[in-house]
Structures are given as structure tokens and as C-alpha cells.
Structure 1
Amino acid sequence: MFTCPATDDFFRARIDQMIDLRHPLAVLASRMPWQEIEAGVAHRFVRKAHEGEAMPDLDLFGEKPPRPARASKAGRPRVPLRIMISLLYLKHAFNESDEGVVERWADTPRWQFFSGQSYYEDRQPCDATTLVKFRKLLGEEGVEELLAQTINTAVELKLIKPQELSRVIVDSGGNQALIATDQRLQRDALGRTKGQI
């Protein structure tokens, strides 16, 4: 048995061999400035020290000597930032719930390609609650910035028309902040495209 020349893995075919690379989502994935987007968001995920006054570690016999810091191996590994950003975009673009977007991601090779995956994964990328926590860490301004960058890139590449941005997206949870965010993003994208035309 011989390996496929387009793959590094003996048993799996690459996603770019499975999908039509002319599809708008595949084109958008290859044209997005992913490194710039990740660099612009990465500072929000740096661990912050707790504020307060430092107290010595005391035990029954006086001060404890400080232990050297070690990296913890507890917990699951961090989900790559590009996958989280992609899930957020796909959630808004296809009007999915948090649960729906992670379930559909597992079944859709095109979505996995958009997220930077090389090989098809028949599993969810993360738990739906991880996406909720990601949005909270980003904050409203961070979510606006990410969605604006992806929408602007799609409009510049003529993958979506400015007229498609005129519809109002309503969050199923009734979150007024996200509704306002979507409306502001649509106005910004329409304003930029009208200035370019």
C-alpha cells in the first residue's frame, strides 16, 4: 500500500484535497491576515497577577521557603487561538448557537479548513462553554474588532456584498450588547465599502 503524495499522514487525506478551494469560505481562509488578528488579540489572554498586598507564607514554624515555579500539567491543553477566532466568526456568519457551531464544526471539512486544520477531525474542537469564556475574555470591543476584520476582508475580496450586511442579526439569547455590536459592525462595514466604491 502506498501513501497519498499530497499528504504526510499514511491514513488520512488532507482537507484541501477534500473541498473546493474556490468556495468563498476557503478563499477567505487563505486571504485572512491570521497572524495579525491573533497578535492583536493575544494580549487579552496573558495571565494577570492578582492585585493586593503580598503576604509571607507562614506556617507553624515561621516563614516557608519559596518553592520554585513549575508548569502545571493539570487540565486540558489550550485550544489554538485561530480555532477560537474562527468559531466566533462562523457562529455569527451562520447564525449558530455556541453548541451548534462546535457540533457543526466537527461535521464540516470546509469549516475545519477555515480554522486552519490540515486534516479532518471527527470530534468537536472544544466545549461550548469554552466559546462563552473566550467571548468574555475578549469583551465587547474585542468581539467587535474581530468580526469587523473578518467582515472587511470578505467585503474587500467581494465574497459578500454590502447589501447582505443590511439585515439585523438577533442573538437567540436576547443579549442586547451583541445585537448592538452586530448593528455597529454592519454600519462600519457599509460605511467603509461605500467610501471604496
Structure 2
Amino acid sequence: MIPSDDRQPPQKGLFELYLEDMINLRHPLVRMAERIDWPQCEQQFGPYWCPDNGRPGHPIRLHVGLQMFKHMQGLSDRELLDQWVENPYWQYFCGESTFQHEPPMDESTMGRFRRRIGEEGARALLRMTVELGEGTGTVAPGSFRVAVADTTVMHKAIAHPSEARLMARAHRRLVARAKAEGVTFRQTYERSLDGLLMRIGRYAHARQFRRMHKRLRKLHGYLGRVCGDVIRQKPYGQRSQALDDSLYQALYLLRQYADPKHRPKLYSLHEPEVACIAKGKARTPYEFGSKVSVITTAKEGFVLDCQALRGNPYDGHTLHEGLMRVHRHCGHLPVHTLVDRGYRGSEITPLSNVRITGKQKGKGTAHPEHQHRRNSVEPIIGHLKHEGLLDRCHLRGHDGDRIHAVLCAVGFNLRKILRRLARLFGLRFIQELLGLLRESGTQTGQSMNQVVSIPV
């Protein structure tokens, strides 16, 4: 049912702890809460609930505020709710009028809200941060003319993939699900798996690869025999969907080990869409996750788009769609887009003038005055990863990757807006203080003149 926000009492109670009496109303969070159009948020996210059925949900302002704080502070759902109880400013931002001593919801409710709004809802929050940044002066209107684009890797919450670990895990999962459906095995080989895994790991550490592959072939044979028993006793059409998925993953791993050139490879059983991406880093030659396209303004480094991509596409093939998303978020396209040489071939897009760093030497139309700002996107990506949550995604599936990437951009923009408001109202406070000092000085001078003019 559509949430109703009835947390504002008509009259203050005598023994209540009201947040307005506890906090500093000049705080940047209070100022930012006053500038956000909360009725528009309720109008935007209200259709995601059933209008006349079910239990009324939590207020939309509470949901949106919690998602903002999660990605502003880089916290998990559990850590966020624990700190929300301790922070009166966060409670005021989320629409509470009195101090709350209990968490407002469970962490699973936050996950259901993210799944409910999906990627489109997350993009609505990103559009709201762009409007808020323009309204507070965090990003100038002329800064949208020059944008910078780059890609990075968002790691997935999986263990480092290895053939032995994947086959052993697929073996155990297939045996457990097959037994639950009445399949009887001549031998399951489960007792031998731990010893094989230990030997394979030791041989790999000692670089004795011939012995390691001998044990891997043995593990491969065990998994093949188990798959054969399942196929004989449960033909196609008689297996459940869960057993079919486990059998398919086991057969895929067998094919993958037999043919090393087989593509695409399976790197995780619970996240089969994870891709292996090589970005040319010496410390991490291969990263497992999804590629993320980031587009920012060249001057302020304000994030205009952050999109998780499926697989490992070529960077130059992702720019056209990224510019279309920027148009959805900002209402207009950048005149110039600065990219690195990984975007070669993307100059043909009619949406913007693509400027590739280092492609042509010298000065000219290929090197405008903002060309040196191409590197400004690199620290933005670092802040997205280390201050936000772009470093590792714990949400399930590719849809979770896309939602998580957009919300990370929302959190980064809100941090910039918050710093801008802190500087802005700090300067105003200093100006007001100087004005009061001038007035007091003038009054003091007038009183001294009156004292001097009194005849003795």
C-alpha cells in the first residue's frame, strides 16, 4: 500500500525530545534537506506501491534518505541503521520530528526498496542530485558543455575463481540437489574432494603443474561420473529447475576445463554473469566483476552518469549510449567529450565532439582549451571506490550491478553538494558575524562620543 507520512504531530508534547531543539539548524544536512523537493520524491516513487491493498509502507522520505546516507558514507545496510539511531541529524534529514531510539526498519526492507524502484528509480535520484547541484551552485550551468568519460571495474563479491574450487563446489551442490529428488549414486566421491583440493593447492604453490593437472583430471572425472548418474536417472523434462541449473553449470565447467579457449568462461556459480577484465594494471592483471562507464563534468568533477555494463565491451562502443543517458539526466548533451585512447573509433557519434587525448600531436581543433582536464576523471573514480561503495558490489545479478553503480554516483554528488553547502553557509555566518561586530563597534563609538561630550 502507498506509504503515508504522518510523523509530524499537530502539537508538541511536554515530555518529547524534539529534533529541532537538539540540532543546529545551520548544519549543512539541515540546509540540504530544506532544498530537496520531497513531495516530488513521493510523486516519483508512489506508483511503485499498490494504492489500496496491503499494509502501509514506511514513508518514502525515510527510504530515500537511508539510501542516500548509505552511499554518502559508504556503509552497509546494518551499519547504516546502527548509526542512524545515534545521529539526530540523519533522523531529521529522513523526516523524523522526535528523537528515535530504535531502527526504523530492517536491512532486508532496504533491499526490497532497491529492488522495487530498480534502475529507473535510482536514475531518478541521480537526476535529482544534478538539479540540486545546479541549484546550490555546486556545478555551474556552463560546465555541462565539457564532459569527461572513462571506464573502470566494479568488483563482484566473489572468491578468486579457480578450476578446483569451482568444480568441487559444483560437485557438492549437484549431489545435494540430486539426492533431494531421489537420485541414487553408485559413489558420490564427496569424501575425496577435500584431500584433492589440498593437494592441488600445494602443487600450485610449489609450481609443480604436472602433478596439479593430474589431480585436476581426477576431480574432472569424479564430476563427470556424477553428472552421468543424474542424466541417466533423471532425463530432460523430469528434473526440477534447480537441478537443471546445477547440472548445466557442472557440464559447463567440464567443457571449460577440457577446452581452455571456450568462451565465455564461468567464474562463479552464484554470479554466472561475472566477467574477467584486464585493465593493464601491474598489481591486478585480472579483475572479476563488471565494467562501469563513468561520465563527469570536466571542471567540477560532478558525476553525470555511472552505468554498469554487461560483459567486457570495447570502450568506444559504450560512449554513444552513455551520452544518451547524460541527456536524460541533464536535459542537454555536452558539446565536447574528453576521452583517452581506449575510445578510438568513437569520434563518429553525432551527439558530441569526441576529443581523444594523445591521438594527434600539436595544437588545433583536436586539442581545445579543456583537453588537459581529461585526467580529472581518474581521482573521481578513486573517490567512488574508496569513499563510496563502487569498489565491491554485493547486490545480486546484473540488475544489482546497475542499481549499485547509479546509487554510488548519487552518493558522490551528494557529498560534493554537502561540502558546497558547508562552505557557503560558513561564509554567510562569517559575514553575519562581521556585520554584527561592525554594528556593535558603531554603537560603542557613539556611546563613547556621548560620554566625552558631557560637561564636567
Q: How does 1:159-174 map to 2 (within 5 A)?
A: 162-163=300-301, 166=380, 167-168=383-384, 169=388, 170=390, 172-174=392-394
Match of 1:127 among 103, 106, 114: 106
> Does structure 1 conserve the Cα–Cα contact (< 8 Å) formed by 2:61 and 2:94?
yes
Q: Could you tell me which amino acid in structure 2 is paired with residue 177 of structure 1?
A: R
> Does structure 1 conserve the Cα–Cα contact (< 8 Å) formed by 2:41 and 2:60?
no
Mapped pair 1:86 → 2:311: no
User: Number of aligned pairs?
Assistant: 158
The 2-side partners of 1:188 and 1:114 are apart by 17
Q: Name 2:46's counterpart in structure 1.
A: 42
Mapped pair 1:33 → 2:253: no
> Does structure 1 conserve the Cα–Cα contact (< 8 Å) formed by 2:23 and 2:88?
yes
The 2-side partners of 1:115 and 1:97 are apart by 18
Give 1:78 deviation, angstroms. 2.3
> Does structure 2 conserve the Cα–Cα contact (< 8 Å) formed by 1:106 and 1:123?
yes
The 2-side partners of 1:104 and 1:188 are apart by 21
Mapped pair 1:109 → 2:109: no
> Does structure 2 conserve the Cα–Cα contact (< 8 Å) formed by 1:102 and 1:124?
yes
The 1-side partners of 2:44 and 2:27 are apart by 27
Gaps of 5+ in 1: 1-6, 49-70, 190-197
The 2-side partners of 1:144 and 1:154 are apart by 15
* Higher normalized strand content (fraction of residues): 2
Which entry has the higher C-alpha Rg, 1 or 2? 2
Q: Which has the higher contact order (CA 8 A, sep 6+)?
A: 1
The 2-side partners of 1:78 and 1:187 are apart by 28
Percent identity reads 26
Per-residue CA deviations over 1:84-143 (Å, capped at 9, x if unaligned) read 111111111111111111111111100000011110001101000000000000001101
Relative to the length of structure 2, the TM-score reads 0.31
Q: Name 2:12's counterpart in structure 1.
A: 8
Give 1:13 deviation, angstroms. 2.9
Gaps of 5+ in 2: 1-10, 141-299, 304-379, 396-400, 415-456
Give 1:182 deviation, angstroms. 4.7
Give 1:159 deviation, angstroms. 6.7
Q: Could you tell me which amino acid in structure 1 is paired with residue 14 of structure 2?
A: F
Give 1:160 deviation, angstroms. 8.8
> Does structure 1 conserve the Cα–Cα contact (< 8 Å) formed by 2:18 and 2:99?
yes
Q: Name 2:405's counterpart in structure 1.
A: 180
1:15–1:78: structure 2 CA closer, same or farther, 3 Å change rule?
Answer: same
CA-based RMSD of the aligned residues comes to 3.2
